[in-house]
Structure 1
Amino acid sequence: MKKLGFDSKKYIEEQSKYILERVNNDGKLYLEFGGKLIGDKHAKRVLPGFDEDSKIKILQKLKDQAEIIICAYAGDIERNKIRGDYGITYDMDILKSIDEFKDWGLEVNSVVITRYTGQPATKVFINKLEKRHIKVYTHEAIDGYPYNIDQIVSEEGFGRNPYIPTTKPIVVVTAPGAGSGKLATSLNQIYHESLLGRAAGYAKFETFPVWNIPLKHPLNIAYEAATVDLKDVNMIDSFHFEAYGEVAVNYNRDIETFPVIKRIIERITRHESVFKSPTDMGVNRVGFGIVDDEVVQEASKQEIIRRCFATEVFFKRGLADEDAVNRIQLIMEEMELKKEDRAPVLPAREYAAKLNQTANVSKSPAVMAFELNDGTIVTGRTSELMDSSAAAILNSIKILANVADEIPLLSANILETIQTLKKDNLHDKITSLNANEVLIALAISAVTNPAAQLCYDKLVELEDVQAHSTVILNKDDEQTLKKLGIDVTCDPYFSSENLFYL
């Protein structure tokens, strides 16, 4: 059984209580939410036992007192920026988030488009939202933000951007990703609240880095590994140490901008800020949910290795620069980690090398290795019938269901029909079945084949399985494995010389 290092129930109770304390102190709280509100896979991986929906469950406990503003930077919409975890663009992620918030019973107040200058694709997105009765506000960029305080806190700064009417004591300000304008939107709201004679406070809910564990703890280093593209660096919060004589960890951007943000808040409220450090601004209680530090440290080291593979793949695809690759490699060396410390890596590579010798070809075949939750290693390879992801899934659920390897799960007629459809009707150049297609075939076969039904029922046990591929996966397989809850890494090699058909 997988060891747990984190108590989610304790965390949710502690975090909810602490947020309410801030509301009671400030009267109204603009709460900037960093990271993912729903499905926080990073936190789940580095904190075994963490409920990936903890944040949304915290908000659900507070739903009668909370509403949500979603921010989106117009430039991200315009260039179709993609979320790597879901493989969808930021505008589609906002639509997805609105649906999910409603499913959780949470009220979405509006969407605010930041740094808007009339960009054409953003106009289309605004129109799409308004046609679905979603309120949309637009904010212009403010010259000199965040350093020109006289300009920012004036009629020509925050005064030019509209106020978003809110009715709840907690206003959650969230976004699809970093740089979306969450802080500026929160401060803009506080500025207008002040003009209306109403007191309002600000707080930041950022899970990582964890302020009350050591700077070089693997959990905090894993955060650096996850943000190498943003060039975030963890630092000791010098303001916090000076004020309280207490060591706290924060990251460079928050520490660098803190004096300016503090002065902006003081200029708006005309009172000395209660914040003496960027750590004071946070409401993060995740460190208090850790119950087994050794388990968390090991999970964090594995996440660093996973991020190393991911960064190299992004670089190969042209989505990351060389600085990011160099930075993640330095982190690996600092933590004395090797890629082979990830359990499925060597089995996948060794099987590929063995197949390469047998076939006597110059290019190694695609191989996928799974490490099941009991430590068993299962492999699969690409063939004319199916790709390596599909093969590894079938081989794994056979083992989990104690079904002999020679017993067929899928009807040959079904597989041939799907391949014929792909080739003759859909004109697909790749006819081997991918993971999604094989799962559909499995579901159909389970209706009449008891062995297929047994294996189908074991798909749920693939959650949290660790996987490694000797080649870069196509987007379809990557998303299917993620939906199954499988954490997959890839060696940074393309599966073929084709540019489009991979």
Structure 2
Amino acid sequence: MRVGFDNEKYLRMQSKRIEDRINKFGDKLYLEFGGKLFDDYHASRVLPGFEPDSKLRMLMKLCDRVEIVIVINAADIEKNKIRSDLGISYDEDVQRLKKEFEDRGFYVGSVVMTHYAGQARAADFKERLEKRNVKVYLHYTIEGYPSNIPLIVSDEGFGKNEYIETARPLVVVTAPGPGSGKMATCLSQLYHDHKRGIKAGYAKYETFPIWNIPLKHPVNLAYEAATADLQDINMIDPFHLEAYGETTVNYNRDIEIFPVLNAIFEGIYKENPYKSPTDMGVNMAGNCIVDDEVCSQASYQEIIRRYYTAMNDVIRGKAKENDVYKIELLMKQAKITTDDRKVTVAAKERAEKLGVPTAAIELSDGMIITSKTTALLGASAALLLNALKFLGGVDHDIRLISPEAIEPIQELKTKYLGGKNPRLHTDEVLIALSISAINNKNAKKALEQLPKLKGCQVHTSVMLSEVDIKTFKKLGVDLTSEPIIKGKSN
């Protein structure tokens, strides 16, 4: 697949940009990290060549100077907020993040609990962390935040928050998700450090929107599609335009909050070192796009995928129809339709012709392979076998798994486990293929092709079960489905 982003250049430029920002402030820099520090698959999809762990690799260049602080909103703990992409609660994710960082050699200094008001679950979580020798600091809700500047910048505002003891010059502030209170945590620290005579600064690291490419660039439109549920809107930064006469891109929340930030900085330091929200950022991704057309086409595909995800989530009750309307508007701005996704067209055309659920996959060389539901296999399970046969050079008519091997699995599902769908799911067909590979050289050859599915595109004519969705995700396949629910027998 074609590359549109220079990842090595990005690692060099980004680490230098952060070092320069540390040096600008003197003793300490609080760096608010928006988005994902690792496993950033959105960035890798819209910027082909960007590695999902690029931000972590960049930080590793500064590892001996970095301290990580993880922020979580106590209200999110209390209502057991779940990360939809991982299916785990925010408090579980704090522990996961801590372990992930430490396994990579980073120092995690503490956990900060914001909006703390003695919530029972939050207090219990704090106790559990402290039993594991994790430092936990409490920050409180400030009445009138973020507008009541005199109260915020006082001993009754930020001053009431517990001061986070940090030991390194670069403090990376991250969180399980949006709304955790990362920015307020950084600003609270600036207030406390100033009172202690420590020269500290604040910067923000958001990969998207990319500030130095056009407002309606496909990469920036794809970011809006990805955050449709948050109602983020990309905008020209009016403060940057006024200060420098330069057009840059930011998003509504940072632009709306900037006058408040400006007042807070002036309340702490008597002046604001930044003239605009763009000034606060350190993102260098826009400088590392080496093939604009590749990134544009990849972004178009991401917008279409996000559209299908939103449509499916509405049916499942996980999203609102406004999310779909917003992405439809973005598709109009980008001048694209679902027909611009090749596998969508292939799967729908075959389904209309055959009258049964179908699926299609686009391989890395552009080859399209399709499948249909049969008595033995669901369309997605059949698609895997068809694709693996093609990649392994195995004739399409050769059976990799005999019906005699499939039938006992069907009997187990329906007779003993109470299932109504006798057809094999994707995970079941891969297990059957693995067993066949012991004595069947063609099955072995097909099984060995699995890594080649990573990054391939798949579309199905009906919505899939969670089992099939998770299998495709584990294989690294980009999956979309028509927002159509069929009976469990499909």
- Could you tell me how far 1:218 is from its partner in structure 2? 1.0
- Could you tell me how far 1:429 is from its partner in structure 2? 4.0
Question: What amino acid maps onto 1:483 in structure 2?
Answer: K
Q: Secondary structure of 1:344's partner?
A: helix
Question: What amino acid maps onto 1:251 in structure 2?
Answer: Y
Give per-residue Cα distances to partners, 1:107-127, cap 9 Å, x unaligned.
222222221233344344434
After superposition, where does 1:344-493 map in structure 2 within 5 Å?
344-356=343-355, 365-410=356-401, 412=403, 414-493=405-484
Q: How many residues align?
A: 489
- How many Å separate the matches in 2 of 1:217 and 1:93? 33
TM-score of the superposition, structure 2-length normalised?
A: 0.95
Q: Percent identity?
A: 53
Give per-residue Cα distances to partners, 1:5-58, cap 9 Å, x unaligned.
110000011000100111111121110001111111111111111111101111
- How many Å separate the matches in 2 of 1:495 and 1:116? 45
1:168 aligns to 2:159 (yes or no)? no
Partner of 1:18: 17
Partner of 1:56: 56
**Using a 3 Å threshold, how does the CA distance of structure 1 residues 441 and 192 change in structure 2: closer, same or farther?**
farther
Q: Secondary structure of 1:397's partner?
A: helix
**Using a 3 Å threshold, how does the CA distance of structure 1 residues 262 and 456 change in structure 2: closer, same or farther?**
same
The answer to whether the 8 Å contact 1:235/1:251 transfers is yes
The answer to whether the 8 Å contact 1:222/1:303 transfers is yes
After superposition, where does 1:223-238 map in structure 2 within 5 Å?
223-238=223-238
Partner of 2:82: 82
- How many Å separate the matches in 2 of 1:74 and 1:413? 55
Partner of 1:334: 333
- How many Å separate the matches in 1 of 2:304 and 2:318? 19
Partner of 1:243: 243
- Could you tell me how far 1:133 is from its partner in structure 2? 3.5
- Could you tell me how far 1:92 is from its partner in structure 2? 3.0
Could you list the runs of 4 or more consecutive aligned residues of structure 1 that deviate by over 6 angstroms after TM superposition? none
Give per-residue Cα distances to partners, 1:56-81, cap 9 Å, x unaligned.
11111111110111112233333333
- How many Å separate the matches in 1 of 2:116 and 2:380? 42
Give per-residue Cα distances to partners, 1:360-393, cap 9 Å, x unaligned.
xxxxx33221111111111233344333222211
**Using a 3 Å threshold, how does the CA distance of structure 1 residues 117 and 366 change in structure 2: closer, same or farther?**
farther
Q: Secondary structure of 2:235's partner?
A: strand
Partner of 2:317: 318
1:47 aligns to 2:47 (yes or no)? yes
- How many Å separate the matches in 1 of 2:463 and 2:209? 30
Q: Secondary structure of 1:329's partner?
A: helix
Partner of 1:287: 286
Question: What amino acid maps onto 2:189 in structure 1?
Answer: Q
- How many Å separate the matches in 2 of 1:184 and 1:441? 52
Q: Secondary structure of 1:229's partner?
A: helix
- Could you tell me how far 1:322 is from its partner in structure 2? 2.3
Give per-residue Cα distances to partners, 1:294-328, cap 9 Å, x unaligned.
11111111111111111111222222222222211
- How many Å separate the matches in 2 of 1:392 and 1:370? 7
- How many Å separate the matches in 2 of 1:149 and 1:473? 50
- Could you tell me how far 1:194 is from its partner in structure 2? 1.7
Question: What amino acid maps onto 2:174 in structure 1?
Answer: T
**Using a 3 Å threshold, how does the CA distance of structure 1 residues 429 and 163 change in structure 2: closer, same or farther?**
farther
- Could you tell me how far 1:487 is from its partner in structure 2? 0.6
- How many Å separate the matches in 2 of 1:355 and 1:141? 59
Query: Structure 1 regions of 5+ residues with no counterpart?
Result: 357-364
The answer to whether the 8 Å contact 1:86/1:479 transfers is no
Q: Secondary structure of 1:111's partner?
A: strand
Question: What amino acid maps onto 1:337 in structure 2?
Answer: I
**Using a 3 Å threshold, how does the CA distance of structure 1 residues 383 and 18 change in structure 2: closer, same or farther?**
same
Give per-residue Cα distances to partners, 1:420-462, cap 9 Å, x unaligned.
4434554344443222222233233323322122111111110
After superposition, where does 1:159-198 map in structure 2 within 5 Å?
159-198=159-198
**Using a 3 Å threshold, how does the CA distance of structure 1 residues 130 and 444 change in structure 2: closer, same or farther?**
farther
- How many Å separate the matches in 1 of 2:197 and 2:415? 69
Q: CA RMSD in A?
A: 2.0
Partner of 1:360: none
**Using a 3 Å threshold, how does the CA distance of structure 1 residues 271 and 443 change in structure 2: closer, same or farther?**
farther
- Could you tell me how far 1:351 is from its partner in structure 2? 1.5
- Which stretch of the first structure deviates more once superposed, 428-437 or 448-457? 428-437
**Using a 3 Å threshold, how does the CA distance of structure 1 residues 99 and 422 change in structure 2: closer, same or farther?**
farther
- How many Å separate the matches in 1 of 2:438 and 2:3? 37
- How many Å separate the matches in 2 of 1:492 and 1:321? 14
TM-score of the superposition, structure 1-length normalised?
A: 0.93
Question: What amino acid maps onto 2:8 in structure 1?
Answer: K
Q: Secondary structure of 1:173's partner?
A: strand
The answer to whether the 8 Å contact 1:348/1:379 transfers is yes
Partner of 1:9: 8
**Using a 3 Å threshold, how does the CA distance of structure 1 residues 256 and 395 change in structure 2: closer, same or farther?**
same
- How many Å separate the matches in 1 of 2:473 and 2:125? 28
- How many Å separate the matches in 2 of 1:442 and 1:199? 62
The answer to whether the 8 Å contact 1:87/1:479 transfers is no
**Using a 3 Å threshold, how does the CA distance of structure 1 residues 350 and 244 change in structure 2: closer, same or farther?**
same
**Using a 3 Å threshold, how does the CA distance of structure 1 residues 195 and 51 change in structure 2: closer, same or farther?**
same
Question: What amino acid maps onto 1:477 in structure 2?
Answer: D
Give per-residue Cα distances to partners, 1:203-236, cap 9 Å, x unaligned.
0000011111111111111111111111111111
- Could you tell me how far 1:277 is from its partner in structure 2? 0.4
Give per-residue Cα distances to partners, 1:93-150, cap 9 Å, x unaligned.
3232222212211122222222123334434443443444433333221111111111
Give per-residue Cα distances to partners, 1:220-261, cap 9 Å, x unaligned.
111111111111111111111111111111111101111111
Question: What amino acid maps onto 1:455 in structure 2?
Answer: A
- Which stretch of the first structure deviates more once superposed, 282-291 or 236-245? 236-245
- Which stretch of the first structure deviates more once superposed, 21-30 or 474-483? 474-483
- How many Å separate the matches in 2 of 1:192 and 1:319? 41
The answer to whether the 8 Å contact 1:467/1:489 transfers is yes
